[in-house]
Amino acid sequence: MKNILIATLATTTLLMSASLKDEARNAGLLPIPNNKAELMKLIDNPRNPITDAKAELGKKLYFDPRLSKSGLISCNFCHNLGEGGDDGVEAAVGHKWTANPNHVNSPTVYNAVFNDIQFWDGRAKDLEEQAQGPMLAHPEMAATSEHVEKVVKSMPEYEAEFKAAYGKDVKITFALIADTIGLYERILVTPSAYDDFLNGDKNALNAKEKEGLKTFIDAGCVTCHTGYGLGGAMNMFNITGTYKHMDVGGFKGDKNGMVRVPTLRNITQTAPYFHNGKIWSLSEAIKEMGKIQLGANLSDKDVASIEVFLKALEGRKPEVIYPMLPASTEKTPRPDMN
CB 30 within 8 A of CB 230: no
Is 103 assigned a ligand-binding role in the annotation?
no
Active site residue 90: no
CB 306 within 8 A of CB 312: no
Distance of CA 290 to the CA centre of its chain: 22
SS3 33: coil
Integer Cα distance of 319 and 325 in angstroms: 18
CB 245 within 8 A of CB 285: no
Q: For the chain, how far is it from start to end, CA to CA, in angstroms?
A: 80
Enumerate the H helices of 187-319 as residue ranges.
193-198, 207-219, 282-289, 300-311
Please identify which of the residues 90, 128, 140, 209 carries the catalytic annotation.
140
Is 16 assigned a ligand-binding role in the annotation?
no
Kindly compute the dihedral angle of the four CA atoms of residues 122, 125, 128, 133, in this order, to the nearest 10 degrees. Answer: -40
Helices 145-153, 174-186: axis angle to 10 degrees equals 80
Is 337 assigned a ligand-binding role in the annotation?
no
Is 147 assigned a ligand-binding role in the annotation?
no
Integer Cα distance of 72 and 95 in angstroms: 9
Is 221 assigned a ligand-binding role in the annotation?
yes
Is 289 assigned a ligand-binding role in the annotation?
yes
For 76, 139, 311, the CA distances from 28, given in Å and listed in that order, are 31, 37, 20
| Run of H or E residues at 40 | helix 36-43
CB 300 within 8 A of CB 116: no
Integer Cα distance of 125 and 118 in angstroms: 6
Binding positions: 75, 78-79, 95, 221, 224-225, 289
User: Binding site residues for heme c, as ranges?
Assistant: 75, 78-79, 95, 221, 224-225, 289
Q: Which residues are catalytic?
A: 140
